[in-house]
């Protein structure tokens, strides 16, 4: 995984993120689909712990064949709102951890956006001073329950 700052080097962490079609993965695990036929892509992602969800470009969602979900109302940082579609079954691999998420489909976006839900679920922290993300515990994920 390569990590870097944004164009101005301030406040933006970007990473290479692998996303796959979870439906394809389950078919491959059952022997119905060859493992090399699983649709997967690596995309540049901006890490934003102030954002909630995983956001993927529409082009990538189509290439991965992710099923479209319900309409989602999104609010941008500037206060605008819009209706977008969800994409089901986005399998994310990052720093040796993985999970399956519903992504917001953004028509004109070229990079992915990695929000707090993915970071929390994969038990990853944003290390701002070193401009990277890190596992909270390198030995494995820890989830707190009551």
Cα–Cα separations (whole angstroms), residue 107 to 16, 41, 51: 20, 17, 18
**Statement: residue 114 has pLDDT above 90:** yes
Domains delineated in the chain:
3-135 (2.40.70.10)
Question: What is the DSSP code (8-state) at residue 8?
Answer: T
For residues 79 and 31, give the distance between their C-alpha atoms in angstroms, rounded to a whole number: 47
Contact 72, 83 (CB under 8 A): yes
**Statement: residue 107 has pLDDT above 70:** yes
Helix runs in the chain, H state only: 22-29, 58-64, 116-121
Contact 85, 69 (CB under 8 A): yes
- What number is the average pLDDT over the span 109-133? 93
Question: Where residue 109 falls among pLDDT bands split at 50, 70, 90?
Answer: very high
For the chain, give the percent of residues with pLDDT over 70. Answer: 92
For residues 131 and 77, give the distance between their C-alpha atoms in angstroms, rounded to a whole number: 21
Residue 109 CB coordination number (10 Å): 16
Q: pTM value? A: 0.87
- Going by C-beta distance under 8 Å and a sequence separation of 6 or more, which residues neighbour residue 58? 105, 106, 107, 108, 109
pLDDT in tens, 26-78: 999 999 999 999 999 999 999 998 899 999 999 999 999 999 999 999 998 89
For the chain, give the percent of residues with pLDDT over 90. Answer: 76
Cα–Cα separations (whole angstroms), residue 124 to 16, 30, 48, 136: 15, 30, 12, 6
């Amino acid at each position: 995984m390569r990590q870097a700052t944004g164009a101005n080097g301030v406040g933006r962490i970007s990473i290479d993120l692998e996303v796959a079609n979870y439906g394809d993965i389950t078919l491959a695990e059952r022997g119905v689909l060859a493992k090399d036929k699983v649709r997967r892509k690596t995309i540049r992602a901006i890490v934003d712990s102030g954002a909630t969800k995983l956001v993927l470009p529409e082009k990538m969602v189509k290439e991965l064949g992710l099923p479209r979900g319900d309409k989602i109302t999104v609010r941008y940082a500037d206060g605008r709102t819009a209706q977008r579609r969800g994409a089901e079954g986005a399998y994310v691999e990052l720093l040796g951890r993985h999970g399956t998420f519903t992504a917001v489909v953004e028509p004109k976006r070229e990079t992915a956006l990695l929000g707090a839900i993915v970071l929390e679920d994969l038990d990853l922290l944003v290390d701002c001073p070193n401009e990277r993300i890190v596992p909270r515990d390198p030995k494995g994920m820890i989830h707190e329950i009551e």
